[in-house]
Amino acid sequence: MSGLGARDIGHRVVVRHRIPGGLTDLIGVLQSWTPALAIVRHADGSVHEIPAADVTAAKTIPEMPLRPVDVDQLFLTTALGRPAVETAYVGHWLLRASSGWTGRGNSLLPAGDPGMPVPDALHQASTFYRERHLPPQALIRVGSPEDQEIRACGWVDARPDQSDVLVMHTTLDHVNALPGYDVQLDEAPNDAWYAAAFQGPVPEVAPKVLEGAPKAVFASVTLDGVVAAVGRGSMTGHWLGVDAIRVADDYRRQGLGTAIVQALARWAGPHGGRRTYLEVLVENTGAMATYTRLGYREAYRYRYLTSHPR
């Protein structure tokens, strides 16, 4: 087969081949190769089997560069991928409450124009959280104008002992390879999924948050009769959000987390997915190394501010 060999498996390729009525070029990742057949995975996750007899030219091409990300758009997209139980607005600023479970689900997202002076907007936000017996918190992009404005009003780090949260992104091309394990995908999680996702009792509000997205899927890998790894994917526009990844202690460092991400990416392609994001604590160096190997790169960092420090 012109220009390709087994050494090129896993690389991006372009294959010109015959189809009824003429020739066409297919660009994707070479998934399998034999002297008789090439299997190429397109960016949308579809897999194409091309007989060698139909190939007129083929070669490897450079990896697709990671396009710049619209950070403002992604900041809002992350909120939609995992919606809070209760929401309200101060201008364009989003107030979220979920009975105290997770910082994301119980914090102000200051994106856009609050429609009033920042001190007044923060006062309304504080009232919203006090009425729900929650500490006033704001999720801010580190170094953003909102970070500076809210700090100028006296808000301080809510979690001074915790590292920043890193929001990472990439294209599905980089992560939709064939998983090394059989990953089951379900539209709704069952009790076994929840038992694997949480170390201890499942918070009462968790199912409302995790199952609240308009389009979501729940991934799991079962080994030795037990659910060894789980994860969740949600679609917002062309973005796949990946979260809730957890691998059981006895099955770590075996590539299960990678398989979950790959399976979710392959699910997202046919649903219009083109890009993907996830969040990880900077101090979680093991997870960061895995995601970096998969092609994820930093988009921005965030942390929480509060008007009532501990």
- Assess contact for 290 and 254: CB atoms under 8 A: no
Tell whether domain 6-60 is in CATH 2.30.30.520: yes
What pLDDT digit, counting tens, does each position of 164-174 carry? 999 999 988 88
pLDDT for position 309? 62
**Residue 52 burial (C-beta neighbours within 10 Å; 0-12, 13-18, 19+):** middle
Question: Residues of the chain whose pLDDT is less than 70?
Answer: 1-2, 10, 64, 309-310
- Assess contact for 247 and 228: CB atoms under 8 A: yes
What pLDDT digit, counting tens, does each position of 4-18 carry? 887 777 678 899 999
pLDDT for position 310? 55
Q: What is the CATH number of domain 167-301?
A: 3.40.630.30
The number of residues making up the chain comes to: 310
pLDDT for position 1? 54
Q: How far apart are CA 306 and CA 310, in angstroms?
A: 9
pLDDT for position 2? 64
**Residue 160 burial (C-beta neighbours within 10 Å; 0-12, 13-18, 19+):** exposed
Domain boundaries, the chain: 6-60, 73-162, 167-301
- Bridge-partner residues for 28, per DSSP? 13
